[in-house]
Amino acid sequence: MPVKIVKVEPAVMHVTVKSTGQRIAVTSSQVKIITVGKIGPSGPAGPQGAAGTPRIEVPFSFGDATPLVLLTVSAGKLIERVTVFIETAFDGLNPLLTIGDADDPAVLMTAVENDPAEEAAYQTTPNLSYQTNTQILLFITPGLGASEGSGLVVIETQT
């Protein structure tokens, strides 16, 4: 197999100095030469991979009925990860979100593990499995005077 030749040119970066407004050019002359040789034979095939972790995504908003049913998890299946993405911050006074079930509304994510007033991502790894099929619920308290707030809940479970 022939060796490929690759032409590499130094990178030029333009930087503007804020205090003076001048624009300067910086040239990087560090170039690493890599020699490409002959490709060897392919190795043995690896084991068949798993189909992946089942993942559900449920959007929510400050005005949704609560509790909001996110999914019914099958008995014996591990809830591996719960992520709440706040896309629009809740503007009510002391908004709260919890994720759990009818018996324990905060077993998967407590109110102190997220902040609906801040646009961010919040994640827990509960590693919890139920003995029976169980509804997973989002409990929303939008806060006094709320007029906006939305996000996405992502739950990943065992295959």
**Which tens digit of pLDDT belongs to each residue from 32-65?**
444 445 566 766 765 544 556 699 999 999 999 9
What does pTM read for this prediction?
0.68
Greater confidence, 8 or 74?
74
Quick one: pLDDT at residue 28? 46
Half-sphere exposure of 27 (CA within 13 A, CB side): 3
Q: What is the mean pLDDT of residues 76-97?
A: 97
Mean pLDDT is lowest, of 20-34, 78-92, 93-107, 117-131, for 20-34
For residue 109, is pLDDT > 70? yes
Quick one: pLDDT at residue 34? 47
Report the alpha-carbon distance of residue 110 to residue 120 in Å, rounded: 16
What structural domains and CATH numbers belong to the chain?
55-157 (2.60.120)
For residue 108, is pLDDT > 90? yes
Label the pairing between strands 78-88 and 128-129: antiparallel
Q: Using an 8 Å Cβ cutoff, are 105 and 33 in contact? A: no
For residue 27, is pLDDT > 60? no
